[in-house]
Amino acid sequence: MKPTRIATIAALLAALHGAGPDFITTRAFAADAPATAPQTVPKDDWYSQRVDAAFVAGYAVLPKPEDVTIVDSRPAARKYDRGHIPTAINIPDTQFDKLTDLLPKDKKQLLIFYCEGVDCMLSHQSAFKAEKLGYTNIKVYAEGYPDWIAKGHMGAVSVPYLKKRLDEGAPITVIDSRPKERKYDKGHIPGAISLPDAQFDKLRDRLPTDKARELYFYCEGLACSLSSDSAVKAARLGYTNVKVVPEGYPLWAKLYGPGPTGEMAAAKPTIQGGKEAGSITIASFERILRDAPETIHLIDVRAEKHFRAATIKGAINIPIDALEDSLDELPKGRPIVFFCTSGARSGDAYDLIKAKKLPIEAYFLDANVKFDKDGNYRLEEN
């Protein structure tokens, strides 16, 4: 067995929901194992050559292997885009005849088809069609994507789906796992935070405190494993909604043009004012924390004991009773956003800044902030 094959750790294979080391597989073991059919009772019209999740896991790795093509036979927008097996291409069975150019030229290459589970016939139908075209090494993962996720493996999303989520202003966090100076600063997906995989442990506090938040990791495309490595690390930290974007920044730049550079990302944030003078809307506040938290200063004006118990990541503590004597200590260079638990004390902080006519751009969060013991928080309209 070649060392390079042994070293292909399946960084995409599990770790969700606290999966332990037993879920970690290597491509070497899965690829060399016999392509045994799963225990599911086959149906008469199924394709005969079937494999299970463990077999597929040996090939659904980054960098993408060159000797296999995994094919998702489901519809694009409703299924594939929002969740698929990493490295799989999308050839909906209904469009199979129009998209045969996406199949490999080598008719002996391994093809693995899958769709939406044991009641879905799309993968079997596509497998029969591929066989008629002369392909000789075809397998069907009949249990499909639902089983893949149920087994604890990592899911992937398409670049267009990520773009859609960002355009919708969805509460997601996009993470660029590439080196910051050599890659991220020269262009990245808008709103992505820089968390190089090589510095993951050191900089992991850049991740949101909410372990249920959607995290999308990307790097330099199908030849890059940094995003999958970081995604597994995040899952091991307890994040439960982690996915990778295998095609990463190269496809983003091709479809939507180059993203902002590091310097552009540090520009002044766009702050949407709320109903009260000086307030910031919850939507605007959450968008800034998601897309560009480094562009504002967060000041928690609650008592120190409450701040120590739980706060918003990145905030400093200046209790409202000490604020007037601490005006010279206020951070400079970025807008300040004051917050508390109800908007009352943070509103008083904003009023004090205005009354003193300080040359500071300040706002307050006019919202109810619910802090959990684990450090998470929720925002509710007053």
pLDDT digits (tens, 9 = 90+) for 43-61: 889 999 999 999 999 999 9
How far CA 302 is from CA of 22, 278, 339, 344, in Å, comes to: 45, 19, 8, 10
Asked if 107 and 192 sit in the same domain, the reply is no
Domain of 186?
158-265
pLDDT of 97 reads 97
Mean pLDDT, residues 189-203 taken together? 93
Asked if 139 and 203 sit in the same domain, the reply is no
Position of tokens 């009772």? 41
How far CA 85 is from CA of 63, 65, 317, in Å, comes to: 14, 14, 44
Asked if 31 and 142 sit in the same domain, the reply is yes
pLDDT of 365 reads 96
Supply the CATH number for residue 363's domain.
3.40.250.10
- Would you call 343 exposed, middle or buried from its count of C-beta atoms within 10 A (0-12, 13-18, 19+)? buried
Of residues 15 and 294, the one with the higher pLDDT is 294
Asked if 176 and 259 sit in the same domain, the reply is yes
Q: Does the pLDDT at position 236 exceed 50? A: yes
Examine residue 112 and state whether it is found in any structural domain, yes or no. yes
Number of domains in the chain: 3
- pLDDT tens, residue by residue, 308-331: 989 998 899 999 999 999 998 888
Q: Does the pLDDT at position 108 exceed 80? A: yes
Asked if 353 and 258 sit in the same domain, the reply is no
Q: What's this model's pTM, rounded to 2 decimal places?
A: 0.66
Q: Which residues contact 40 (CB under 8 A, 6 or more apart)?
A: 118, 142, 143
